[in-house]
Amino acid sequence: MDATNSSSSAAGFVSEDRLWKFLMDVAAYGATKNGGVNRQALSVEDTAAKQHVVSWADERNFQTFQDPIGNLFVRSEGTEPDLRPIMTGSHLDSQPTGGRFDGAYGVLAGLEALDALNDAGIQTRRPIEVVAWTNEEGSRFSPGAIGSAVFAGHNTLASVLDVVDREGTVFRDVLAETITGTGAPLRALGSVVPHAYIENHIEQGPVLEGKDLQIGVVSGIQGICHLDVVVLGEEAHAGTTPRRSRKDALSAAVGIIAALEELTTDDGDTIRFTVGRCEVSPGSPNTVPGRVHFTIDLRHPDSEIIQSMRSRIDEVAAAKAGACIVAVSDNLYVPPTTFEPSVIAAIRDSAKNLGYEYLDMPSGAGHDAMHLNAICGAGMIFVPCLGGVSHNEAESATPADLAAGARVLTDTLVRLANS
Ligand code: GLV
Ligand code: MN
Ligand code: MN
């Protein structure tokens, strides 16, 4: 079989309307009144979206599997089933006020590619598997991208089972409910190692839109460091306790955050520093706060810069803690990722083959592909999103751009699955 011809003919069967309808059908699970989705990991909405995918696969006689961390796989068999599969996908879980495309697009673009292959009458040499990874977002259960991390052997299943969300729900309990609710048979961790992994995603930034391009070929992902900071003070009466004798944990935390903002400000505006969660206890207007917990999300393309910032955080925090006690703990570190050159080359060839101008670009956001890249070659295909807006209910993308990315994906899948 001529891989180039079959790949381009398969891409020609990608349907913009079918993909858009599929995206809108899945966006109904956890739909919010502002047009976004709240489909957090291992919720009933997340499970319902997975059930939708299983029904889709059953209608087409594709096999489905789940692994013990709830990653869901849809398998299109190859003519040589024993070969390692080409894998593609992303995640179906969302931020609490998330958009309709972050994650879902990568999963549904993969399934659209399977429909296109079917319509083209093409069976590839290698199997193709489309995956929905568990808990990419990390907003309900921390850390994020845990499904792909466990799949890749970077974390153990045991290390996450006892994690609790803010309501006290234990990961292990809702994982069991999700696996039962999703209904696909179990497959052991480590039983399938992909030959290559490709992930489609909206860019989540403004670059492609600004250049009026439909396709980004992703070179890599910046490093990510997540920390938890706990500031301990002493609860006291707001009316009777003089300011100078207080141990006000929030007041100390405000000073610490301001100092860390300054530490992480660089001339090029490259360092990303975010405090996305700050919990104040007891959270009563007339009690001096006794405890504050806040998170730090720190990112940079250069691991040395992340490490050097990290090494100064405890000292800066302690210097601003005043009469309070501060403790910093590490929650996640994923070093910068450089994607596999041969997968990048295949994506570029597919874009050229289909006549799309593309941009080589890095990813500011984290993705499951960063874990897959360590066990098999990985690469990513970006498409523009409106105004670069993401992690926001207003997130939007056009059917034409989403279909363009699915065509490049389909072409690349056939190219790699016939290699
Ligand atoms: C995933 O959304 C990330 O944190 O980049
Ligand atoms: Mn995502
Ligand atoms: Mn996200």
Q: Ligand 1 atom 1: the closest Cα is on which residue?
A: 366
Ligand 1 close to Cβ of residue 3 (< 6 A)? no
CA–centroid distance, residue 365 to ligand 2 (Å): 8
- To test the pocket of ligand 1, the residue of 367, 370, 380 to mutate (highest count of ligand atoms within 8 Å of its CB) is 367
Alpha carbons within 13 angstroms on the beta-carbon side of residue 345 total 5
Ligand 1 close to Cβ of residue 143 (< 6 A)? no
Residues lining ligand 3 (ion), CB within 5 A?
102
Predicted local confidence at residue 5, as pLDDT: 57
Which atom from ligand 1 is nearest to the alpha carbon of 365?
A: 5
Q: Ligand 1 atom 4: the closest Cα is on which residue?
A: 366
Q: Ligand 1 atom 2: the closest Cα is on which residue?
A: 137
Ligand 1 close to Cβ of residue 137 (< 6 A)? yes
Ligand 1 close to Cβ of residue 365 (< 6 A)? yes
CA–centroid distance, residue 103 to ligand 2 (Å): 4
pLDDT tens-digit series, residues 50-71: 999 999 999 999 999 999 999 9
How many angstroms separate the CA atoms of 419 and 414, rounded? Answer: 8
The CA R_g of the chain, rounded to the nearest whole Å, is 23
Judged against a pLDDT cut of 50, whether residue 4 lies above it is answered with no
pLDDT tens-digit series, residues 293-345: 999 999 999 999 999 999 999 999 999 999 999 999 999 999 999 999 999 99
Judged against a pLDDT cut of 50, whether residue 381 lies above it is answered with yes
User: Is the bond leading into 143 cis (omega within 30 degrees of zero)?
Assistant: yes
CB 103 within 8 A of CB 335: no
Helix axes 399-417, 3-11, angle to 10 degrees: 160
Ligand 1 close to Cβ of residue 295 (< 6 A)? no
How many angstroms separate the CA atoms of 379 and 372, rounded? Answer: 9
Instruction: Give the residue-averaged pLDDT of 130-135.
Output: 99
Residues 6+ apart with CB under 8 A from 233: 246, 247, 248, 249, 250, 252, 288, 289, 290, 291, 292, 323, 324, 325
How many angstroms separate the CA atoms of 358 and 384, rounded? Answer: 11
How many angstroms separate the CA atoms of 31 and 25, rounded? Answer: 10
Ligand 1 close to Cβ of residue 366 (< 6 A)? yes
Q: Is 158 helix (H, G, I), strand (E, B) or coil?
A: helix
CA–centroid distance, residue 201 to ligand 2 (Å): 7
- To test the pocket of ligand 1, the residue of 133, 137, 295 to mutate (highest count of ligand atoms within 8 Å of its CB) is 137
Q: What is the pTM of this model?
A: 0.96
How many angstroms separate the CA atoms of 294 and 257, rounded? Answer: 9
pLDDT tens-digit series, residues 155-181: 999 999 999 999 999 999 999 999 999
pLDDT tens-digit series, residues 191-200: 999 999 999 9
Predicted local confidence at residue 150, as pLDDT: 98
Q: Which ligand lies nearest the alpha carbon of 101?
A: 2
CA–centroid distance, residue 5 to ligand 2 (Å): 32
pLDDT tens-digit series, residues 216-240: 999 999 999 999 999 999 999 999 9
How many angstroms separate the CA atoms of 105 and 203, rounded? Answer: 11
How many angstroms separate the CA atoms of 181 and 177, rounded? Answer: 6
Judged against a pLDDT cut of 60, whether residue 95 lies above it is answered with yes
Ligand 1 close to Cβ of residue 395 (< 6 A)? no
Please state whether beta strands 358-363 and 377-383 pair in parallel, antiparallel, or not at all (unpaired). unpaired
- Give the helix ranges, DSSP H, for 170-301: 171-182, 207-211, 249-263
Residues 6+ apart with CB under 8 A from 252: 231, 233, 292, 320, 321, 322, 323, 324, 326
Q: Which ligand lies nearest the alpha carbon of 363?
A: 1
Q: Is 199 exposed, middle or buried (0-12, 13-18, 19+ CB in 10 A)?
A: buried
Judged against a pLDDT cut of 60, whether residue 215 lies above it is answered with yes
Per-residue pLDDT band at 8 (split at 50, 70, 90)? low
Measure the N-to-C terminal CA separation of the chain; round to a whole number of Å.
10
Q: What are the respective helix, strand and coil percentages of the chain, to the nearest 5?
A: 35, 25, 40
How many angstroms separate the CA atoms of 320 and 259, rounded? Answer: 8
Q: Ligand 1 atom 3: the closest Cα is on which residue?
A: 366
Cα→Cα distances 398→20, 117, 217, 236, Å: 9, 23, 18, 54
Tokens 């399938």 belong to 192
Q: Which ligand lies nearest the alpha carbon of 221?
A: 1
Q: Which ligand lies nearest the alpha carbon of 202?
A: 2
Average pLDDT, the chain: 97
Q: Which ligand lies nearest the alpha carbon of 102?
A: 2
What backbone torsions phi and psi does residue 329 show, to the nearest 5 degrees?
-130, 150
CA–centroid distance, residue 251 to ligand 3 (Å): 31
Q: Among residues 134, 241, 211, 209, which one has the least CA distance to residue 178? A: 134
Predicted local confidence at residue 3, as pLDDT: 45
Per-residue pLDDT band at 1 (split at 50, 70, 90)? very low
CA–centroid distance, residue 49 to ligand 3 (Å): 17
